[in-house]
């Protein structure tokens, strides 16, 4: 089932659905690590589960001759297999993330063909972030540069248009496409207005819904939605939430994601004496965010689990 249809059903029923995002396990681990984190959340009946995709990274190893050798590694492979396993085991729609970075257009087309063969109907189209070795994002050679380009390629496949224009009687895919939105603007965007302008372009290209970057102040989300509606964006905007879990995140999240942490939350965390106390503060803050958003009638609350389900489960128990 398409994510847009799940959203429509929730709106018609005046209901808020629960969904979440998982990371593939690190290379060398098996899929049981994924199932152990998904199992405790299934009682909340998520209509879909997102599975992230991770770009290759570059590491340098010293050779016997003393020179440095550049190696390309992918620390979290398995998105395709995990999506297939989720749909088979849980009968829940899986939403794989598809990136511009690390893919040529040919790679993207083959990835999408695999998804189509597996009966996966939904994808999340993202540009992707810069890797550690890059100051700024660099697209792959012969790859899509922006998420809008990626959306356009997926829509081409939905129309039966492949990179090889000589194909005859080519079949059409039927992907529902999600894209990212940034309530506090993308860290590379020069202004909120320009960021919303390009979000609108992604939706006009064929994307069906938006999932936001994490935020810790609901007013940021409400203001973002209002600005999007004023700009002519009418498609659903799903709030993405992440409970704060460690003191280190007070510095890491603003720096890495360009997201503000409210002073009240900062002081609560700073005053905590133990890691468990910090984690509980993050849970309680996210519960209050969730309840306010649910009361405002959002059709889906989407949680970034980061491979851990215990805190997400506590939040879901209090909200759904």
Which residues neighbour 132 within 8 Å (Cβ) at sequence distance 6 or greater?
A: 57, 58
Q: What pLDDT is attached to residue 77?
A: 76
The two three-digit tokens of residue 53, written as one number: 């995709």
Residue with more model confidence, 320 or 66: 320
Ranges assigned E (strand) in the chain: 17-22, 48-51, 57-62, 68-73, 93-99, 122-126, 176-181, 209-214, 237-241, 300-304
Q: What pLDDT is attached to residue 169?
A: 78
Per the CB < 8 A criterion, the answer to whether 48 and 124 are in contact is no
- What are 118-155's pLDDT values in tens digits? 999 999 999 986 555 565 666 677 889 999 999 999 99
Per the CB < 8 A criterion, the answer to whether 98 and 149 are in contact is no
pLDDT at 171 over 60: yes
The rounded percent of the chain whose pLDDT value lies above 70 is 90
Q: Is the dihedral of CA 51, 24, 245, 137 positive or negative?
A: negative
Q: What pLDDT is attached to residue 84?
A: 96
The two three-digit tokens of residue 25, written as one number: 């396990």
Greatest distance between any 2 Cα atoms in the chain: 67
The two three-digit tokens of residue 189, written as one number: 């965007």
Of 24-38, 47-61, 184-198, 257-271, give the lowest mean pLDDT range.
47-61
Q: What pLDDT is attached to residue 82?
A: 94
pLDDT at 72 over 80: no
- What are 11-51's pLDDT values in tens digits? 999 999 999 999 988 887 888 989 999 999 999 999 999 99
Ordered by where they begin, the domains of the chain are 3-243+300-308 (3.20.20.220)
Q: Is the dihedral of CA 223, 225, 227, 229 positive or negative?
A: negative
Average pLDDT, integer, range 269-282: 96
Which residues neighbour 14 within 8 Å (Cβ) at sequence distance 6 or greater?
A: 297
Residue 17 has a CB neighbour count (10 Å cut-off) of 21
């Amino acid at each position: 089932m398409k994510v847009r249809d799940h959203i429509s059903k929730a709106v018609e029923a005046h209901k808020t659905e629960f969904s979440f995002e998982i990371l593939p396990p690190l290379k060398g681990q098996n899929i049981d690590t994924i199932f152990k984190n998904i199992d405790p959340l299934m009682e909340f009946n998520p209509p879909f589960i997102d599975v992230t995709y991770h770009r290759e990274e570059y590491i340098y190893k010293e050779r016997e001759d003393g020179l440095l050798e550049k190696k390309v590694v992918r620390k979290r492979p398995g998105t395709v297999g995990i999506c297939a396993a989720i749909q088979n085991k849980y009968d829940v729609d899986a939403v794989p993330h598809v990136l511009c970075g690390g893919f040529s257009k040919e790679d993207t087309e083959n990835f999408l063909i695999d998804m189509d063969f597996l009966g996966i109907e939904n994808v999340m189209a993202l540009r992707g972030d810069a890797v550690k070795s890059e100051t700024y994002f660099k697209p792959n050679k012969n790859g899509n540069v922006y998420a809008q380009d990626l959306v356009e390629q997926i829509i081409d496949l939905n129309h039966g248009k492949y990179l090889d224009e000589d194909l005859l009687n080519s079949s059409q895919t039927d992907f529902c496409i999600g894209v990212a939105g940034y309530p506090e603007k993308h860290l590379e965007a020069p202004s909120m207005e320009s960021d919303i302008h390009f979000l609108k372009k992604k939706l006009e290209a064929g994307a069906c819904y938006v999932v936001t970057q994490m935020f810790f102040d609901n007013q940021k989300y409400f203001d973002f939605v209002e600005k999007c509606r004023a700009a002519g964006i009418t498609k659903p905007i799903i709030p993405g939430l992440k409970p704060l879990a460690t003191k280190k995140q007070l510095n890491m999240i603003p720096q890495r994601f360009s997201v503000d942490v409210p002073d009240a939350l900062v002081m609560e965390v700073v005053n905590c004496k133990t890691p468990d106390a910090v984690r509980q503060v993050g849970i309680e803050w996210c519960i209050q965010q969730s309840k306010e958003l649910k009361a405002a009638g959002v059709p889906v609350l989407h949680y970034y689990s980061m491979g851990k389900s215990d805190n997400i489960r506590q939040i879901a128990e209090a909200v759904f």
